[in-house]
Amino acid sequence: MKDQKIGIMGGTFNPIHYGHLLLAQAALESLSLDKILFMPSGNSYMKEASRILSGELRGQMVRLALKENPDFIFSDLELQRQGPTYTCDTLAALRAQNPQSRYYFILGEDNLLTIKQWKNPDFILKNCVIAGAVRESDNTSRILDAARLLEKEYQADIRILPARRIDLSSTEIRERLRNGHSVRYMLPESVIEYIAENNLYKN
């Protein structure tokens, strides 16, 4: 696995939906990536664990969602780790496995504003390319300014991905499922079937 350009899509994926997949496809094409690793988080230190399904269930939904795309690869690296999961540790593990590869960490625009608050941001910003998805909005100039400051302060390599305005969120999907509403066209049919078969997000 030498000299590959590998994207990283991290998240709770609770559940994975078309917004995640469309962002990954945009990154794959615009950055000419060889593949993208979809990496469900274990115990994220930034989210309340009681509201998140088990790693096994979330991981299976991700596997189902990626099944038709050979460029999208499931990784259970963070699910296998004990305790809180941190991006810096994940990146260190990936670089140890494949030191020749170049990693591209795909982020939503909100994370560009908060990445300095993550554990060991210096290591993260110096050991991967940050691919920030930015939607045209009133906050665009503020987000672009934040990206430029990160480049200056950390000598970071930040690429801006123009992102489609797709108003999809896992929170909304969970709410619709709790209320018995359809989530068709919001996530892959295979994931919808898995949710129904396992009675997920009912309460």
- pLDDT one-digit tens code per residue, 102-159: 999 999 888 999 999 999 999 999 999 999 998 877 678 989 999 999 999 999 999 9
| pLDDT of res. 1 | 46
First to last CA, the chain: 43
* C-alpha 137, offset from chain centre: 21
Domain assignment present for 68: yes
Question: What tokens does 79 get?
Answer: 């699910």
| pLDDT of res. 49 | 57
Domain assignment present for 109: yes
pTM assigned to the model: 0.92
Give the count of domains, the chain.
Answer: 1
| pLDDT of res. 48 | 56
Domain assignment present for 83: yes
| pLDDT of res. 45 | 57
Question: What interhelical angle do 189-197 and 55-66 show, nearest 10?
Answer: 150
Structural domain range at position 56: 5-166
CB 12 within 8 A of CB 47: yes
Which portions of the chain are predicted below pLDDT 70? 1-2, 44-50, 138
Domain assignment present for 180: no
Nearest Cα residue to 10 out of 47, 37, 43: 37
CATH code assigned at 65: 3.40.50.620
Domain assignment present for 195: no
| pLDDT of res. 47 | 55
| Phi, psi values for residue 12, rounded to 5° | -75, -30
| pLDDT of res. 172 | 96
Domain assignment present for 193: no
